[in-house]
Amino acid sequence: MSKITSEMLARFFENRTTAAENDVIADWIESDPENQNIFNRELQFHLMLLNISSGYMKHAPHKAKRNIFGSRSSIFLSAAAMLAGILLTWFIGVAPLKNEASGILTFTTQPGQRAALTLPDGTSVHLNSGSTLEYPAVFSRKERRVRLEGEAMFDVESKARRPFYVETFAYDVKVLGTRFNVLAEKEKEEFSTALIEGSVAILDKRNESLVATMTPDQEIVLSDGRLYKRTVEDIANLYRWTEGIIDCSGMSFDDLMRKFEKSFGIEIVNELDTLPQINIRRMKVNVKDGVSHALELLQRNAEFSYRYDDTTDTYYLYD
């Protein structure tokens, strides 16, 4: 096996290694538990440098660990470049990284924020506001697994012998190479998958048995403990949240208010005696135009008034 050096791992953490080098690193990690420990220590050191550079480290160590491979001077010089490379993958806000020692990274967006990142295998992910994605610093040679809480759009890098799994509280989604959207919010018992390109399989979490398969322009939704599948014309147009577009079509007033809260990162308090009944066939809102603009558009389809409390960033709806 090729020798793994600090320089190669530094390039890996900066997303500058080739696919072949990534496979070599994966083989090296799986060949010996001690190699996994070495990798974890290197990763932890790099994340420490990232935290120092960006000002997010709460407790700086008094002394850096001894270099297990050699001089760390080149790694220090690359810390700023690594930070810049990571920041370029975000479009809004900052997502914290956790669980460094275990080799598991956690990427989280706050309400009102969205982010884009590239996973170690080349898969691109758009993460919606208030969502969390957990993924390993390096994928296994046999499979690729991530865990999602919230909503994300995946564009999976095709690797026929290494299936990609999205684990959620309800079901797991298995793919080989495709573009799809997953919504999984445990607190609200909401789960759905929409397929834009390729094919996916929905698996039972308990035994990974096949529950359903999907083809493009299909959507599966969990409702009352059962999965329902439907065909949706031009489904990609319904999932433009990656561009900051909210599709309001076919939503109830209450569901739309919850979507506004999540997308804009604000609180909406409903003081209406009766919820308006709306039947919006076509209405799209751009997040950058602000929540007030969205509410004014909605007033064309529903009778309500609103006021804004800037001390609490809260919108109140009233008759």
User: Are 118 and 146 spatial neighbours (Cβ–Cβ below 8 Å)?
Assistant: no
Residues with Cβ within 8 Å of residue 263, at least 6 apart in sequence = 112, 129, 241, 246, 287
Of 75, 13, 89, 80, give the one whose Cα is nearest residue 53.
80
**Pairing verdict, β 267-270 and 314-318:** parallel
Residue 66 pLDDT exceeds 80:
no
Residue 225 pLDDT exceeds 70:
yes
Tens of pLDDT, residues 37-55: 788 777 777 666 655 444 4
Q: Which domains does the chain have, with CATH numbers?
A: 1-87 (no CATH), 89-243 (2.60.120.1440), 244-318 (3.55.50.30)
Tens of pLDDT, residues 257-304: 988 998 898 999 999 888 888 877 778 889 999 999 999 988 888 889
Tens of pLDDT, residues 144-153: 999 999 999 9
- The SS3 of residue 212 is strand
Tens of pLDDT, residues 67-123: 333 333 333 333 334 443 443 343 333 344 444 445 788 899 988 889 999 898 889
Longest C-alpha distance within the chain, in Å? 71
* More reliable by pLDDT, 19 or 225: 225
Give me the pLDDT at residue 85, please: 41
User: Are 35 and 41 spatial neighbours (Cβ–Cβ below 8 Å)?
Assistant: no
**Pairing verdict, β 305-309 and 164-167:** unpaired
**Exposed, middle or buried, 61 (CB in 10 Å: 0-12/13-18/19+)?**
exposed
Tell how far CA 55 is from the center of its chain.
23
Backbone angles phi, psi at 125, to 5 degrees: -135, 130
Give me the pLDDT at residue 222, please: 93
